[in-house]
Homo-oligomer: A and B are copies of this chain.
Amino acid sequence: MTRSPLPDAPVARTASLLAVPARATILLALADGRARPATELARAARISAATASEHLSRLSRAGLLLVEREGRHRYFRLRDPEHLTGLLEALAALAPAPRGPAPHDEVFASSALRRGRTCYRHLAGVLGVALADAMVREGWLSLDGRFYDLSDSGARGLESLGVDVEMARRARRTFARACLDWSERRYHLAGALGGALCDRMFEAGWVERNGDSRITRVTPSGRRVLRQRLGVEVW
């Protein structure tokens, strides 16, 4: 019953990846090129974690997604956002009904969470990324793969902010890790040093929690310190 392979098999196989609503939702949710954890994608597609896991592994195996482990999360992102996005748009454009531009996501714009938040015990969101960027720009940190190197001047700078760098060095945890930030798609500072910095900023009253959520906001004094010491202007 088997026949010689038709030259269109690849087309059909690839199309079938996009042919189920749950997977299309997932890809659409990743269309902005940012990385998101599996649970969030499951929620977006309204499927169980188990089902999402299957879809994600299938999409990864097909080479559409890249995956990055981050603690107990797994972040997925499109391997080739340009190409994939174009394809999704072309498919949507072929559909008969809709004539206006699709509402697309919006779902993920939930900006309060995006601006600043804690990620386990370090700072994330726009704030966390801005901080990491600034420290790199000032020569305090340099990125090496998934880790940061802390320069001497960086150590001095952080110490002068009141961060207990020596204590962080002695911790059994990784000292300075680059953590993929899901809302900004860039790295922020994690590890013992990130924790120490985060602790210090709360302790000094430069940032504060919004109730008991993970949402964090910068206080006026924090804003001043960051501007003076790191040249960072945070909203």
Tell me how many residues of A have a C-beta within 8 Å of chain B. Answer: 43
> For chain A residues 6-61, which have a beta carbon within 8 Å of chain B?
6-21, 23-25, 28, 45-46
Distance A148 CA – B96 CA, assembled complex (angstroms):
34
| Contact (Cβ within 8 A) B15 A24 | yes
One complex includes copies of this chain to the number of: 2
Q: Is A3 an interface residue (CB 8 A)?
A: yes
Q: Is A86 an interface residue (CB 8 A)?
A: yes
Stretch at the interface among A97-105, A111-119, A126-134, A164-172: A97-105
| Contact (Cβ within 8 A) B3 A28 | no
Q: Is A94 an interface residue (CB 8 A)?
A: yes
Contacting residues, chain B, for A8 (C-beta < 8 A): 21, 24-25, 28
| Chain B residue nearest in CB terms to A79 | B94
Q: Is A90 an interface residue (CB 8 A)?
A: yes
Distance A70 CA – B96 CA, assembled complex (angstroms):
27
Distance A196 CA – B96 CA, assembled complex (angstroms):
45
Distance A92 CA – B6 CA, assembled complex (angstroms):
13
Q: Is A93 an interface residue (CB 8 A)?
A: yes
Distance A8 CA – B45 CA, assembled complex (angstroms):
10
| Contact (Cβ within 8 A) B25 A6 | yes
| Chain B residue nearest in CB terms to A9 | B21
